[in-house]
Structure 1
Amino acid sequence: MYVVTVIFEPHAGQMEAFLPLMLENARLSLADEPGCHRFDICLSEDGNRVFLYELYTDEAAFGQHVETVHFKAFDRAVADLVAQKTVKNYKLL
């Protein structure tokens, strides 16, 4: 299994606009992508960061994820809302 973690730090005052877009991307990923097994969204205690834990069958399934229409639409929609994005990849043991 292939794990992807992402930390989003939206610009000040943009979390309210960001979260519904993030939730919809996660919903569509789980519903439409057979290779996406988990898509957890976590909000930091201070409400300034969003942490994602995504689980895919393999790296190819994640590659398919980033090519989907819904992911590309999400990525475009949040581009101006996000100050920083950190992505890390892991192999589940």
Structure 2
Amino acid sequence: MYAVTVVFQIKAEVVEDFLPLMIANAEASLKDEPGCRQFDVCTDPDRPGDVFLYELYDDADAFQAHLQTPHFKSFDAKVAGMIAQKTVRTYAKVAS
């Protein structure tokens, strides 16, 4: 398994516009990508501009395929101006 975490800091004036686009992207990823196993969109009421994603893929190739999908490219273009900061981290499962 291959885990991806993303922390967005969204510009305060567009948080309400960002979230529906983020949720639609997550739903499309789960529906249309066989290698996407989990895609959680999380927020903190005390920090409404922070959005945390937890994504789980079969492997790194499945994540790279995700980045090439039409729904991701559309989402990415629509939200580019809404993001103040973005941190992406990836993790591979340690074999047991």
**Same-fold call, TM cutoff 0.5:** yes
Q: More helix per residue: 1 or 2? A: 2
C-alpha distance in 2, partners of 1:91/1:39? 16
Q: More strand per residue: 1 or 2? A: 2
- Give the ranges of 4+ consecutive aligned residues of structure 1 lying more than 2 Å apart after TM superposition: none
Q: What are the ranges of 5 or more consecutive residues in structure 1 without an aligned counterpart?
A: none
SS in 2 for 1:80: helix
C-alpha distance in 1, partners of 2:89/2:62? 16
CA RMSD of aligned residues (A): 0.7
C-alpha distance in 1, partners of 2:68/2:74? 10
Q: What are the ranges of 5 or more consecutive residues in structure 2 without an aligned counterpart?
A: none
Q: Counterpart amino acid of 2:2?
A: Y
- Corresponding residue for 1:44? 44
C-alpha distance in 1, partners of 2:78/2:9? 15
Residues paired across the two proteins, number: 93
C-alpha distance in 1, partners of 2:75/2:86? 14
For residues 12-37 of structure 1, the C-alpha deviation after alignment (integer angstroms, 9 at most, x for no partner) is 21110000000000000000000000
